[in-house]
Amino acid sequence: MCWHVVDVERLVEDDPPARAVWELIGGLDLTRFLSPIGSINGQAGRPAFDPQLLISVWLYAYSRGISSAREIARRCEYEPAFQWLTGLGVINHHTLSDFRIEHREALDELFTQVLAVLSAESLITLERVMHDGTKIYANAGKSSFCTKKRIEAHLKIAREHVARMEQPEAAELPEPRRAKVRERVHREREQRVAHALSEYEKIERAKRPGYNRTSKQQTGASISDPEARIMRHSSAPCALSYNVQVSTDAAAGIVVGIDASQTVPDYEHLVPAVKQIEERLGKRPRQMVVDAGYTSRENVLALHQYGVTMFGRSVQADGRVRQRFARCGVTDGFLPDDFHFDSRSDTFLCPEGKVLRPRVPTERPGRTMIRYQASITDCKVCAQRTKCCSGNTRYGRSIVVTKENPVVTAFRARTASAEGEAALKQRSVVAEFVNAWLKEKLGLRRFHVRGLAKIRTEAMWAALTYNVQQWIRLRWRPLRLAIPLATA
Ligand code: SF4
């Protein structure tokens, strides 16, 4: 052991990002973080840590790909940048860990404040926003996933443990402190398993009627993180995960909206994303660019109503239609394109020359569907029946014509134009870059917390760190290079 003099200011000479984070956070309004802190006259207690310090430590840690509170606490003891941020102080990992998840609303406001700073520095224009979703692993192993039967068995055991701890003999154990800890652990486990059972019931209720157990729908819940859901990853097998939604402004690649959800389909997150951007920045994006997962007629119409121009890749319909008809036994030569439409009589003629007449149109969001049907008397005796409508013995062959809403037609034409192609190309660069950065650089491949509310908070920390890093790269660092540190 040795004593030596440390010039704290010189600790970050080689690591200016720590200083940049401190400066940025120091210039923001942290009242919402400060308001829960108070002292009670006459009662002892250690002084609270300054929120500026804890925020800066977390942002700096995430920017280095460190997301474990224990690891940060360890590094505060020897790593110069952490020592500078804490003023050579020591922070308990519990303090760090609690701070990360306890200030969801204050953090949300801080995220908006940072966006205001970036917007004032012309790094956000909202001319074009790319929206994308990425699956991030939950903090729960494969073995924690249980069927209803197993969850109930676990719950029974957990309740037995709790009941045993409540017996008078338990209070007379030689180590009462340990017994208390054990009781708390058993109670927490019981609550978690009961929560898993309620989540399982929620999943079952959300299933479509006539659900088939052999399909790929979730058939249980995790007892480690009951709110996590089984999701398919693009380059990995299905796993317990959350679906993180990220909106990125194309001007400088700044994240202008972030959220996490338990639901897999992406299309239902597009309208909430536009609303979130408007709430944070006071205006809507001019253009929104998305991939096929968000392209639905409902979204096209909703964004049109909001005055947002949408670009989105459509699912290749032709291949799907062919596959669907093939499953029903319809062969080539009897697909809808092989039926001839007569506009004067508003009827179709089948390849055998029989008439298909229109039925009452059905209105659906963004389209009108008209079914044209042949008479069963014609089809019953037709020699081509096995190729045209083999499985149907009650009704004549029908085809459905969809009349698109003009807004949807305009959306398709826009996306197919040169501008649309360029926007979609730019989307994959901008949106995928952010996803890769969050996972690779910030280490957010797997969440460190459990439960949707905490997951949303951790995703927010990561997005905030990413934005601060972009601000350092695009604004703070060029300014520092222009004005050397010694004279700054
Ligand atoms: S089955 Fe009916 S619709 Fe199909 S070709 Fe024969 S008559 Fe026409």
Question: Each residue of 260-280: pLDDT tens digit?
Answer: 999 888 999 999 999 999 999
Report the pLDDT value the prediction gives residue 14, as an integer from 0 to 100. 66
351 Cα nearest atom in ligand 1: 5
Distance 331 CA to ligand 1 centre (A): 12
**Three-class SS of 265-287:** CCHHHHHHHHHHHHHHHCCCCCE
Nearest to 438 by CA among 248, 161, 174, 186: 248
- Per-residue pLDDT tens over the stretch 318-365: 556 667 777 777 888 888 888 999 988 999 999 999 999 999 888 887
Span 455-486, pLDDT tens digits:
999 999 999 999 999 999 999 988 877 765 55
Spatial distance between the Cα atoms of 434 and 482, rounded to a whole number of angstroms: 28
Report how far ligand 1's centroid is from the alpha carbon of 333 (Å).
Answer: 11
pLDDT at 15 > cutoff 70: no
Confidence of residue 215 (pLDDT cuts 50, 70, 90): very low
Determine the pLDDT at residue 184: 85
Distance 373 CA to ligand 1 centre (A): 10
pLDDT > 80? residue 57: yes
Q: Is the pLDDT of residue 420 over 80?
A: yes
If phi over 0 gives left and psi between -120 and 50 gives alpha, with beta otherwise, what is residue 347?
beta
234 CB burial (10 A radius; 0-12, 13-18, 19+): exposed
Output the pLDDT for position 46. Answer: 77
Atom of ligand 1 nearest to the CA of 382: 6
Q: Is the CB of 289 under 6 A from ligand 1?
A: no
What separation in Å is there between the alpha carbon of 396 and the centre of ligand 1?
A: 8
Predicted structure pTM score: 0.83
* Ligand 1 binding pocket mutation candidate from 350, 357, 380 (most atoms within 8 A of CB): 350
Rounded distance, CA 59 to CA 461, Å? Answer: 7
Q: Is 354 in the pocket of ligand 1 (CB under 6 A)?
A: yes
Residue 24 per-residue DSSP state: H
State the pLDDT at residue 444.
92
pLDDT-based confidence at residue 47 (cuts at 50, 70, 90): confident
CA of residue 312 relative to chain centroid, distance: 18
Pocket test for ligand 1, best of 348, 385, 398 (most atoms within 8 A of CB): 385
Confidence of residue 70 (pLDDT cuts 50, 70, 90): very high
Three-class secondary structure of residue 50 per DSSP: coil
248 vs 369: which has the higher pLDDT: 248
What is the structure's pLDDT at 8?
Answer: 86
Instruction: Please give the mean pLDDT across all residues of the chain.
Output: 88
The pLDDT assigned to 214 comes to 43
Instruction: Answer whether 387 contacts ligand 1 (Cβ < 6 A).
Output: no
> In terms of pLDDT, which residue wins out, 8 or 97?
97
- As a whole-number percent, the residues of the chain with pLDDT over 90 amount to 55
Contact 114, 464 (CB under 8 A): yes
- In three-state secondary structure terms, 369 is strand
Query: Is residue 379 in contact with ligand 1, taking CB distance under 6 Å?
Result: yes
How confident is the model at residue 178, as a pLDDT? 76
Q: List Cβ neighbours of 98 (8 Å cut-off, separation of 6 or more).
A: none
Least confident of 6-15, 55-64, 86-95, 212-221: 212-221
